[in-house]
Structure 1
Amino acid sequence: MGRGKKLDIFIGADIDDSWSEVQTPRKTKIISDTQEPQKHFLYFSKEKRRGKVVTLVGEFHLTKEDATSLIKKLKKKLGCGGTYKDGFMEFQGELKEKLRPLLAEEKFRFKNSH
């Protein structure tokens, strides 16, 4: 193919004037009920993301403001990064042993095996 020539490719898309709404399930859950810390039953999970360990704690039933203030306080005490997504708090590193007493101090409860 020489320079300056355009390649005409037909992909097979059918373009018409009608629009349709895409129905995909929502990834994030909208939490309608908030609970006090004593009624939470949290569990820990460990995942590898891009070769690094991430500690997940959840599921929290808090308002967005309460959850962001709690994770900000925990990140400061632990000296690590993290985020709050879909009712779970994600912390960078393997922090289960350090995180458990900090959450117990905030009156959160855990499942028996965690």
Structure 2
Amino acid sequence: MKSKKINLSDLGGIMYSTDTSYEFRQETEEVDTPKNQQQDLRVMLDKKNRGGKAVTLVIGFQGKSDDLQTLGKMLKTKCGVGGSAKDGEILIQGDVRDKVMLILQKEGYMVKKAGG
């Protein structure tokens, strides 16, 4: 996925400052990770901007990035493939949607298949 662009509304309305000592601090608060039963995850197949290769995409995770990394590592290990976890999304190489759904359901997550 592309990194999210920052627009003026994200900056709190500040457009220009004449104060030479002014430094914009973007506050990024990480929310505590809810329980597995409260997470509503979507599993889909994605081929866009990947050179025709398919990846299984898990979206909808809410919580700390460390917990996202842990979940991503567990999924990659159990599926025996590579991938990455960042920006609230987990990318798993290949079309392993059914296997990922079964693993997440066993862990207690609410999972739905999304996309075509």
Q: Same fold (TM over 0.5)?
A: yes
Distance in 2 separating the partners of 1:44 and 1:75: 14
Shift of 1:32: 3.1
Q: CA deviation at 1:88?
A: 1.1
Partner in structure 1 of residue 105 of structure 2: 104
Cα distance in structure 1, aligned partners of 2:90 and 2:99:
14
Report the residue type matching 1:39 in the other structure: Q
- TM-score by structure 2 length? 0.66
- What are the equivalent positions in structure 2 for 1:29-44 lying under 5 Å apart? 31-44=30-43
Give the alignment of 1:24-63 within 5 angstroms: 24-25=6-7, 31-48=30-47, 49-63=50-64
| Unaligned segments of structure 1, at least 5 residues | 1-22
Against the structure 1 CA distance between its residues 105 and 52, is the aligned structure 2 distance closer, same or farther, given a 3 Å change threshold? same
Describe the SS at the equivalent of 2:6: coil
Q: Please give the alpha-carbon distance, in whole angstroms, between the structure 1 residues aligned to 2:29 and 2:87.
A: 8
TM-score of the superposition, structure 1-length normalised?
A: 0.67
Q: CA deviation at 1:51?
A: 1.3
* 2:101 alignment partner, SS class: helix
Partner of 1:90: 91
Superposition misfits of 4+ residues, deviation over 6 angstroms:
none
| CA shift in 2, pair 1:59/1:31, >3 Å | farther
Identity across aligned pairs (percent)? 35
CA RMSD, Structure 1 to Structure 2 (Å) = 2.3
Q: How many residues align?
A: 89
Residue 101 and residue 81 in structure 1: after superposition, are their counterparts in 2 closer, same or farther (change >3 A)? same
